[in-house]
Structure 1
């Protein structure tokens, strides 16, 4: 299993896969690092997550997904208008 989250300091590193499970945080992968220490990552931070069609089509040319940008606009608008908070 490989960690693929672009902003994680260990991005690109390979880990020994142990188990995939659903926890209170959501879908996670349990793995061992190179020193045999157990660690966990959200599935979407790994190469085990389904490929996001937008990210694949953009071919690495766009670091943002449309849904994330729409949520950001909602957050900024809410802050500007004094509403604060964001809808899920």
Structure 2
């Protein structure tokens, strides 16, 4: 198993796969590092995660997943419609 999260300090490092587990936050993989220590990573940080079709089609040009962009758009829409004041305005 290889760690592929671009911002993790161990990105690109290979680990010995032990098992895939389901935790309260989602799927994780349990691995052994080069010194034989057990550690775990979120499944989506590894090369074992299912390929996102949008990111695959975009190639290296787009680091964002479709679901993340939709979630961001919903968050921004909620912030814009949620208050009496516009974004950046001070309340009295």
Tell me whether 1:71 sits opposite 2:71 in the alignment. yes
Q: For structure 2, list consecutive stretches of 5 or more residues without a partner in the other structure.
A: 84-92
Distance 1:28 1:68, change over 3 A: same
Q: CA deviation at 1:74?
A: 1.5
Whole-Å Cα distance in 2 between the matches of residues 21 and 67 of structure 1? Answer: 23
Structure 1 runs, 4 residues or longer, greater than 6 Å off: none
Q: What residue is the counterpart of 1:3 in the other structure?
A: 3
In structure 2, distance between residues paired with 1:66 and 1:44: 14
TM norm structure 1: 0.81
Is the partner of 1:11 in helix, strand or coil?
coil
Deviation per CA, 1:23-73: give whole Å up to 9, x if none. Answer: 222211000111111100111111111111111111111111232112112
1:86 paired residue number = none
Q: Structure 1: which 5+ runs fail to align? A: 84-88
Q: Matched residues in 2 for 1:67 and 1:24: separation?
A: 20
Please say which of residues 20-29 and 9-18 is displaced more in the overlay.
20-29
Structure with greater Cα Rg: 2
Q: Size of the alignment, in residue pairs?
A: 83
